[in-house]
Amino acid sequence: MLDGQILLDLPPTAIPRMYRLGMDPTRIEVIFLTHMHADHTFGLPFLLLEYCVRRLRSEPLTIVGPVGIREHTFEMCDLAWPQLRNNGFGPKVPLRFVEIPEDGSYRANGVAFEAVRMEHFTLDAFGYRLGYKGRKIAYTGDTGASAPLDRLLSGADVALIELTHAHASDDPGHMDLPAFSALAEELLRKGTRVIATHMGT
């Protein structure tokens, strides 16, 4: 979360964590979703329900993600709350979608960013590099070591890198500790601040 306004992925546990940290979910302006796995998107139905019940809002919410994210959003809502949309009880906040078809430069709600396709099994998955308050912030989402990952992180002031495995792993879709450590060491030498996310056991 950047300044309470830009959210990078939205896991199912995000809403209670926001409240524990004293954050107001209605301040969120843009959500960047890297790919359509549950641990990165299933918080969205809960957030939209908050906007219907406890934290009413009329300001638009922008959702960025791979092509199909609009359809996926409403499918998640229907799965989480069956029949509610048919009865007129659904996301009332105006939703704007920015669907990313390929690598390139984009804008969402005034935020300039670059999308780089990451290697995460056979899914459409993107990492994002945002220009924010004069700094370049790179967020990988889930991926293993690869040339696209290196390109995403090149020149970043802050790098948020997923770290799933605490030991060496042959999982091609996630980073393990040896690969993360080597990458972090190189980035730190270049002056990049490195933050691990998605940490497993």
Residues forming the active site = 39
∠ CA 91-19-50, nearest 5°, is 15
Partners of 107 in beta bridges = 112
Rounded to an integer, what is the distance from CA 122 to the centroid of its chain?
A: 18
**Helix ranges restricted to H, the chain:** 14-20, 38-41, 44-53, 69-80, 147-153, 177-189
- Cα–Cα dist 42/189, whole Å: 36
Closest CA to 8 of 122, 87, 111: 111
